């Protein structure tokens, strides 16, 4: 028996697994679930989507607490900050979805007990709350007029073709929405401010601790000179003008890591540039927080398959100054052990990369850490996610990984509420938080446990 103290104040004892052999011998040691239909107060949302998986729309006077695309440690052990993405998946349907992040507590079900629930907590103290509220929420805004373009708060109706008036609270508070930016990654700086990786630009965004945009969006220069465009720009970039974009939609800064000392960000594109002939090469760009500039250092990540096959990454998280965890996944969903699933998930994995170890083509060394479709469940914690002792995490988008200690990582799905149904066909996915014990310790810098 081996006893491990997790950085979230939770003691786990992990014994020898009796489950079917797993190539990486990783174990499920904790699981907590936030129900799909969880809401927080706010303007009516979901007015530009249709009913999916039995979830009625719109969501009157509320915002779904869903679509987690970033996770940080929270104010107390066992608490986390979780960031929603742009809302409902595109610029054209998310104008009424607010850009927010929440403070939550995961009371993991482990072999020692636990409720298996995810609960709202106060941002400043970590105190458990009965419901999501302003105490547990940071709402992004542009009260300082830094965006540089007309946001939804400047409009009369949400879209030119719409007759639905923009909620007065969005206008008066200049709240930012999923039609303004598509947030995909989140990091906290030494001064308490936050940095976001964004996909529409792609941009890096800098906001205060209270959520106010502090600087104009930071655009990414085309450092490799792939094509003639001086910047990397997607079709949704508000400054594109008559330029031809060189990055597809939804392929911007999906993952972003911060160094242990808080001095650098490493922002990773989800897809290759359209002008890059190497179709499984993703670019990682270094950004200096002190000078607020991209340094020009670019690292390469090699995907197992090309973006055209549906391959993508979900997150990039630092282990130390030169090693990072990357989630890589296909575009399928559903448990391959479930006969009701006709086109199941095939590829959901966590890799470790080392930017100090490059191959002859400049790609970072890559090592498999965990196969998320093949997780031993020796303590039967996985509920309906476990079949014959093997737990699967078969969601289409898995966008959060956080090292808890040298042997344990937290992984969370992006449930794309109400659209994804990877756990049970026809049912909207919950937000699942799982703790995975690795078979090989990480060289984790202890400073990252505070980030």
- Would you state the pLDDT for residue 278? 96
- Tokens 């003691």 sit at which residue? 11
**pLDDT value at 379 more than 90:** yes
Q: Give a yes or no: residue 385 inside a domain.
A: yes
- Would you state the pLDDT for residue 13? 34
- Would you state the pLDDT for residue 14? 35
Q: Give a yes or no: residue 12 inside a domain.
A: no
**pLDDT value at 3 more than 80:** no
Contact 387, 353 (CB under 8 A): no
Q: Give a yes or no: residue 5 inside a domain.
A: no
Expressed in percent and rounded to 5, the helix, strand and coil fractions of the chain are 5, 40, 55
Q: Give a yes or no: residue 331 inside a domain.
A: yes
* Over residues 266-274, mean pLDDT: 98
Binned at pLDDT 50, 70 and 90, residue 451 comes out as: confident
pLDDT digits (tens, 9 = 90+) for 410-438: 999 999 999 999 999 999 999 999 999 99
**pLDDT value at 2 more than 80:** no
Burial class for 279, CB neighbours closer than 10 Å (0-12, 13-18, 19+): middle
**pLDDT value at 20 more than 80:** no
pLDDT digits (tens, 9 = 90+) for 114-132: 999 999 999 999 999 999 9
**pLDDT value at 9 more than 70:** no
Q: Give a yes or no: residue 7 inside a domain.
A: no
Quote the pTM value: 0.94
Contacts of 360 (CB under 8 A, 6+ apart): none
Residue 213: CATH number of its domain = 2.115.10
pLDDT digits (tens, 9 = 90+) for 39-66: 999 999 999 999 999 999 999 999 999 9
* Over residues 92-114, mean pLDDT: 98
pLDDT digits (tens, 9 = 90+) for 145-180: 999 999 999 999 999 989 999 999 999 999 999 999
pLDDT digits (tens, 9 = 90+) for 307-348: 999 999 999 999 999 999 999 999 999 999 999 999 999 999
Question: Reduced to 3 states, what is the DSSP secondary structure of residue 153?
Answer: helix
- Would you state the pLDDT for residue 24? 67
Contact 195, 255 (CB under 8 A): no
**pLDDT value at 5 more than 80:** no
| Token pair belonging to 339 | 């006969």
Contact 393, 372 (CB under 8 A): yes
pLDDT digits (tens, 9 = 90+) for 197-230: 999 999 999 999 999 999 999 999 999 999 999 9
| Beta strands in 108-228, from DSSP E residues, in sequence order | 117-120, 137-139, 183-188, 194-198, 203-207, 218-221
- Tokens 């720009």 sit at which residue? 233
H/E stretch holding 336 reads: none
Q: Give a yes or no: residue 199 inside a domain.
A: yes
Arithmetic mean of pLDDT over the chain: 94
Q: How many separate domains does the chain show?
A: 1
DSSP 308: G
Q: How far apart are CA 86 and CA 366, in angstroms?
A: 30
Contact 399, 68 (CB under 8 A): yes
Contact 182, 200 (CB under 8 A): yes
* Over residues 397-406, mean pLDDT: 98
- Would you state the pLDDT for residue 203? 98
Q: Give a yes or no: residue 320 inside a domain.
A: yes
What percent of the chain lies above the pLDDT cut of 70? 95
Domain residues for the domain of 422 are 18-450
Q: Give a yes or no: residue 156 inside a domain.
A: yes
């Amino acid at each position: 028996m081996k006893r491990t103290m997790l950085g979230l104040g939770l003691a786990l004892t992990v014994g020898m697994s009796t489950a079917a052999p797993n190539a990486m011998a990783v174990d499920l040691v904790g699981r907590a679930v936030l129900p799909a239909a969880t809401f927080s107060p706010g303007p009516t949302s979901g007015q530009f989507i249709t009913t999916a998986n039995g979830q009625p729309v719109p969501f009157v006077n509320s915002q779904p607490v869903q679509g987690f695309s970033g996770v940080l440690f929270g104010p107390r052990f066992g608490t986390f900050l979780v960031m929603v993405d742009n809302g409902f998946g595109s610029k054209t349907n998310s104008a009424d979805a607010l850009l927010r992040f929440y403070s939550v507590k995961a009371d993991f079900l482990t072999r020692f007990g636990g409720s298996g629930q995810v609960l709202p907590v106060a941002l400043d103290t970590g105190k458990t709350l009965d419901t999501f509220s302003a105490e547990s929420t940071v709402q992004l805004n542009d009260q300082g007029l830094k965006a540089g373009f007309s946001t939804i708060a400047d409009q009369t109706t949400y879209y030119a073709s719409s007759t639905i008036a923009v909620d007065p609270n969005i206008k008066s508070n200049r709240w930012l929405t999923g039609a303004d930016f598509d947030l995909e990654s989140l990091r906290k700086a030494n001064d308490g401010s936050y940095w976001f990786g964004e996909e529409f630009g792609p941009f890096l965004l800098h906001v205060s601790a209270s959520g106010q945009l502090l600087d104009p969006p930071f655009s990414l220069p085309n450092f490799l000179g792939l094509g003639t465009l001086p910047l990397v720009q997607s079709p949704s970039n508000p400054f594109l003008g008559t330029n031809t974009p060189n990055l597809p939609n939804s392929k911007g800064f999906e993952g972003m890591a911060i160094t242990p000392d808080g001095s650098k960000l490493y922002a990773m594109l989800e897809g290759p540039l359209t002008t890059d002939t190497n179709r499984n090469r993703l670019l990682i760009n270094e950004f200096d927080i002190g000078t607020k500039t991209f340094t020009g250092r670019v690292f390469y990540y090699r995907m197992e398959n090309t973006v055209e096959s549906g391959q993508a990454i979900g997150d990039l998280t630092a282990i130390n100054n030169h090693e990072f965890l990357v989630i890589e996944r296909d575009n399928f969903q559903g448990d391959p052990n479930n006969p009701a699933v006709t086109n199941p998930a095939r590829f959901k994995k966590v890799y470790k990369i080392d930017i100090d170890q490059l191959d002859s083509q400049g790609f970072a060394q890559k090592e498999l850490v965990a196969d998320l479709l093949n997780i031993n469940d020796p303590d039967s914690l996985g509920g309906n996610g476990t079949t014959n002792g093997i737990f699967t995490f078969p969601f289409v988008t898995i966008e959060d990984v956080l090292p808890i200690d040298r042997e344990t990582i937290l992984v969370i799905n992006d449930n794309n509420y109400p659209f994804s149904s990877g756990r049970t066909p026809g049912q909207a996915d919950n937000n699942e938080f799982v703790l995975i014990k690795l078979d090989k310790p990480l060289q984790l810098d202890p400073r990252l446990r505070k980030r």
